[in-house]
Amino acid sequence: MRIQPREQILNIWQAMFDSCWDREKETWSWGGRDGVNSISDSEQLLCLLYPATEIDAFALHDPDRVENDVSERLEPIGGRTWGGSFLVKLLDEYIANNTDETGQPIFASGGYLKSSDSRQPTPVQRRIEVVDAYSMSLTLCMAGLRFLRDHIAAVWQNRPDEQMQQLVDAVSTRLTAAMTGLVRSFVVNTMFPKSSEGQAILSMLNVDGRSEQNVLSGVKFSLERVRARLRSDVVLGQETSVKGLENDNLLFECGWSWGIPEDASPVGFIDAPIAKAVGTAESRPYLYFTMVALDGINDLVSPQAGEMGMLDEQQHRLAQALRTRWELTQLYWSTVARFGDGVWPLEDIPWRTSDGDQSDYYSLIVSAVLIQDLVSRSASDDDLTRAVAIFDELAGRGRIIRRATEDDPAIRLHSPGVRLDLRGTERIDSGPMLQWEVSDYSAVLLKRMLQAARLSNNVNARDKLMDLSKATMEHLHHRRLETGAVGLWDDAGKVFGGKDAPRETRPSWYMTERLIECLVMAERTYSAAPPNWPELQVVAQVLLDTAEHRFDQELLNVTIGIGLRSRGTMQRVEHHIDEARQLVRKDAASALVHTLEALRDLNGLEIGRTDANRNM
């Protein structure tokens, strides 16, 4: 199945208006399969707002810029004229729904929290804040501020009324709180090599069966720069957790816990409850929440975000703290994923965490972090080629390109998903230990393969990535809802449950938003300049040399009395050769086109001369 971002995003928008918008009452229906909560609300609104601010063709801030096919999908809300105003309305409702009576942002996880036993989470536990809430809010608020800035400029001539300015201020306040929550949720976990955690890490990294001391020395050397920067640059909110790094004999890992940990220190320059609230999360990185945090921060540190100029002084300080954590976390996991000189630990699927848990899903997450790190820095062809093999294996093990068997344990990656224990929640309100359910295996795989395809300069690697991406999109296409919220996600039972499995009818904004992220990534991949394949450069250079040689030969045959037609042809040939010479190193495909045009004209001259000689 081809991935067609424009058509598929428009289809999702149409499905959203059909299932969420009541034309008669002019009301928007919030909430999905897991009820109304701050995360679900963020995901639902991002399905509209993210494409509208990331892809020019979907821009809604200026009615005069709305394209015709987009305008057709906006017909239920009044067409192109009302697209921007409609998003303002939803943003206003979103802020109102997720702000308490004192004006503080709410990041409650609500129905997304599952119980680990037969008891139900208590109302107090439902209000627990997790990193997913902070990260989604960060992405939403960045997109929201960008949209409001452009909408105010286009429609309000940069003179917003009091209500519009209040909305901008409220979105900015929520952004500050989300950034603060992410800063404080970062953790550094240190352990002795002989501890159970230390042994789990060493076992994961020791793919080649080397001595423990050899592995320890290699780890210490490979992570020396990460350790040094964590000790010197990561202080805000983590004064306690980084102290363990002073002992160079300890192993460590860094990333994000599921929420604000119990040993997180306050952020003194932020005057908000979230800056000093006592945390409850375990002070240990969770791979899933680490990936989610990195994705959110990526929207903050992107060049596009830096050009917006909308962050205040406090937000700039928080952004710098998050950028440092973003860089070091990616470097840490990228280093351990590729540790050693032989087989990568990441290639030894499944990945095993420091608490002894293992899953193909963890291998996928580490692969995702690796690809993001390769995007941020420079990726070698070897790195990407080996990553392709990992994605291929994960697609097979996840039963995306292979058939699932009866009672196949791999099905649990998708339905109901991998459950993560949120350690520390059992101490809240005498309730059960809560769990977080992740079922986005296919979507994460698709997004990272499209991301890797943008980087690849290897023909075979890119071709394989695109084939796997199309197969994964086909798999996800079959999981769309066919009843209820038709055209949205997710009904994994259609693929894995058999014809008698109960059908889902309510939308999962968790999955639908992740499909939107994949389609936005596909648009970026397709919009980028095509790869300048080294193999194509060689062919283009050979043909260019041939064309130049034949052009020089033709010049020997030119007489003073050359006709106007032949003279024009020679000038055109020279132009094509000059253009090809300038493009051959940076755009071999275009150089090849110019060269072939030159050769065609030269061949025509030769045929004409041959015919003339034959008729003499």
Kindly report the CATH number assigned to the domain that includes residue 553.
1.20.1270
Q: Evaluate whether 244 touches 252 at the Cβ level (below 8 Å).
A: yes
User: Tokens for 550?
Assistant: 């034949």
Listed residues 495, 527, 559: the one ending a domain? 527
Q: Which residues make Cβ contacts (< 8 Å) with residue 396, sequence separation at least 6?
A: 402
User: Are both 139 and 205 inside the same structural domain?
Assistant: yes
User: Are both 608 and 546 inside the same structural domain?
Assistant: yes
- Does a structural domain hold residue 25? yes
Listed residues 505, 527, 549: the one ending a domain? 527
- Does a structural domain hold residue 117? no
| 3 state DSSP class of 307 | coil
User: Are both 557 and 504 inside the same structural domain?
Assistant: no
Note the pLDDT tens digit of each residue in 421-456.
999 999 999 999 999 999 999 999 999 999 998 887
User: Are both 276 and 360 inside the same structural domain?
Assistant: yes
Question: Which residues of the chain, if any, have pLDDT below 70?
Answer: 237, 239, 241, 303-308, 378-379, 499, 557-565, 611-616
- Does a structural domain hold residue 118? no
- Does a structural domain hold residue 228? yes
Q: Would you give the distance in Å from CA 554 to the centre of its chain?
A: 54
CA angle 437, 442, 446 (to 5 degrees): 135
User: Are both 499 and 549 inside the same structural domain?
Assistant: no
The type of residue at 294 is L
From CA 455, how far away is CA 380, in angstroms rounded? 9
User: Are both 520 and 548 inside the same structural domain?
Assistant: no
Question: Is the bond leading into 350 cis (omega within 30 degrees of zero)?
Answer: yes
Counting other chains too, the contacts that 263-271 makes at CB distance below 8 Å and 24 or more residues apart are 264/184, 264/185, 264/237, 264/238, 264/240, 265/184, 265/237, 265/238, 265/239, 265/240, 266/237, 267/180, 267/183, 267/184, 267/236, 267/237, 267/318, 269/314, 269/317, 270/176, 270/180, 270/314, 270/318
- Residue 223 phi, psi (nearest 5): -105, 15
- Does a structural domain hold residue 39? yes
Give percent helix, percent strand, percent coil of the chain, each to the nearest 5.
Answer: 60, 5, 30
User: Are both 444 and 581 inside the same structural domain?
Assistant: no
What pLDDT score was predicted for residue 154?
92
User: Tokens for 273?
Assistant: 């409850």
- Does a structural domain hold residue 379? yes
What pLDDT score was predicted for residue 561?
47
Q: What DSSP element (H or E) covers 578?
A: helix 564-583
Q: Which domain holds residue 87?
A: 5-111+125-527
**Region class of 492: left (phi > 0), else alpha (psi between -120 and 50), else beta:** alpha
Q: How many folded domains does the chain comprise?
A: 2
User: Are both 148 and 266 inside the same structural domain?
Assistant: yes
Q: Shortest CA distance to 460 belongs to which of 379, 540, 534, 373?
A: 534
From CA 167, how far away is CA 7, in angstroms rounded? 32
Classify strands 27-28 and 186-191 as parallel, antiparallel or unpaired.
unpaired
User: Are both 280 and 307 inside the same structural domain?
Assistant: yes
CA angle 131, 137, 140 (to 5 degrees): 145
Listed residues 527, 554, 581: the one ending a domain? 527
DSSP category for residue 435: E
User: Are both 16 and 47 inside the same structural domain?
Assistant: yes
Any idea what the CATH number is for the domain that residue 229 is in?
Answer: 1.50.10
Q: How is 264-280 classified by DSSP, letter by letter?
A: PPP-TT--SGGGTPPP-
pTM of the model: 0.89
Kindly tell me the number of DSSP H helices and DSSP E strands found in the chain: 22, 9
- Does a structural domain hold residue 169? yes
CA distances, 50 to each of 79, 145, 165, 321 (Å): 19, 12, 21, 24
User: Are both 172 and 94 inside the same structural domain?
Assistant: yes
Q: What DSSP element (H or E) covers 397?
A: helix 381-397
- Does a structural domain hold residue 120? no
Q: Evaluate whether 231 touches 250 at the Cβ level (below 8 Å).
A: no
From CA 75, how far away is CA 83, in angstroms rounded? 9
| 3 state DSSP class of 398 | coil
Q: Evaluate whether 431 touches 425 at the Cβ level (below 8 Å).
A: yes
User: Are both 518 and 541 inside the same structural domain?
Assistant: no
Which residue intervals of 74-223 are DSSP H helices? 83-97, 123-126, 131-155, 162-185, 196-205, 212-222
**Region class of 608: left (phi > 0), else alpha (psi between -120 and 50), else beta:** alpha
DSSP category for residue 77: G
Sign of the alpha-carbon dihedral angle for 96, 99, 104, 109: negative
Q: Which residues of 535-570 are buried (b: 16+ CB within 10 A; e: fewer)?
A: ebbeebbebbeebbebbeebeeeeeeeeeeebeebb
From CA 15, how far away is CA 20, in angstroms rounded? 8
